[in-house]
Amino acid sequence: LARGYLNNPELTSEKFVDNPFEPGERMYRTGDLAKWLPDGNIEFLGRIDNQVKIRGFRIELEEIENRLLEYEGVKEAVVVAKEDKERSKYLCAYIVSNNKIDRNELKNYLLKGLPEYMIPSYFIELEKIPLTSNGKIDRRALPEPNRKMNIGIGYEAAGNELEEKLVKIWSEILEVNEIGINDNFFELDGNSLKAMMLVSKIYKELEVEVPLNDLFKAATIKELSKYIINKDIIDKYKKNNKMIMLNNKKENNIFAFPPLAGYGIVYKELSQFLTMNTLYGFDFIEHEKRNEEYIELITNIQKDKPYILIGYSIGGNLAFEVAKNLEKQGYEVSDIILLDSLIREHKIDCSLDSTKKEAERMIENIKQYASEEDLLMFNYIKENYSIITRKIFKYKLYSNNVINIGKIKSNIHLIASCENKNNEKLNLWQKSTLGSFKIYNGFGSHNLMMSKEYIKKNANIIRDILGKIE
């Protein structure tokens, strides 16, 4: 009951009033309008306010409307409760705006001040709010919501294998064709019963357990796909904190070494585009015999055939050192793919204090990104903060002290960021290989090469490289 009134003293005093029957006690004003019948029964007549009950929560519609009106460009806003075919209630917001509204940005804005259950399922833009003859809002004249009217919902097809499987599952349960990855399950007539069927079918077909409460938070295929990938990854991390298989098992393997963040999980998005290969992501191993342990992990997975290694930023320097040691032990590394890695010719002079501060800055940046993009990952970081900070600190020390000397037989492919494509230092890698060396123009700045905006374009370059490896 208290959820909607926390940190809201004005609304609290309005709803929790003095009890006239018990001095010193308080009563809750429900807002229900009723009358007491002569036979002792109470007849419910409706509401005296704009409060509704959805999924067990009491909701003040006016509170949502006020929050909408605070959003830049929104002139008028009306929120109403609707019922679907199964009589399940949902919220619909009608908006008059000066600007073009981005639905996701609006939802994120609302979530900063309202709980998830108070976020409308539909946002419908109108030229004007209909009024009655006496100037009041004519709620009966508001159009019935449908999928095509919803702001910002454009059709986007499934982009990877997991999304395709989820589209198929949704289609079977909802009996709807042409489901896009941005469509909301509950806006396609999904209800609590169908949601239970969905989580059951996901568990049966994908062997992933999705709690029902989490489905309400990840109600699109895009969000649900990300949730499943990350849940699977975190579950695997709890079993093995040095290496993780990031996609489905395929015939050919790639072994990926992390950037300064220190965790192989950074390659999870990339793995969804490299569907012809199994991508294994390594965490940074903190002890000095890391090369020997990496070699043991790699050779346990792949007994024969030449190895392919990949590394982003300092991960490329680490991959080079592992390749060098693999070759020393008689193994063949056919190719190394470097993502914007600059060769280390000498140590970097940096105090322990400044190194520690840089590690702390980095984890705060990761936390901020995770809180916006991925609640599961954010919680994992929060629970393991000291361990992650230590790993980044140790990796930064390694980064300051590693020197890439010697030659390998492996071919080196270097994908340069837009800011480094003319950096002459990239060519220094040519002296480090007896094989071929080639530079490719990648997309995005150094820090954004693996971001949503550029990951697919850079993955296409990697796919082209892999396609030419014999």
Catalytic positions are 313, 340, 446
Q: Yes or no: say if 52 and 118 are a contact pair by the CB < 8 Å rule.
A: no
Encoded amino acid at 318, one letter: L
Sign of CA dihedral 431, 433, 439, 444: negative
Render 59-88 in DSSP notation, one character per residue: EEHHHHHHHHHTSTTEEEEEEEEEE-TT--
DSSP bridge pairs for 57: 54
Alpha-carbon Rg of the chain, whole angstroms?
Answer: 28
Render 88-130 in DSSP notation, one character per residue: -EEEEEEEEESS---HHHHHHHHHTTS-GGGS-SEEEE-SS--
Q: Tally Cβ neighbours within 10 Å of residue 89.
A: 15
Packing angle of the helix pair 375-383, 221-239 (nearest 10 deg)? 30
Q: Which of 309, 161, 286 is closest to 229 using CA atoms? A: 161
Length of the chain: 470
Q: Yes or no: say if 86 and 121 are a contact pair by the CB < 8 Å rule.
A: no
The two structure tokens encoding residue 307: 């190895």
The SS3 call for residue 351 is: coil
Which residue bears the tokens 């946002």? Answer: 123
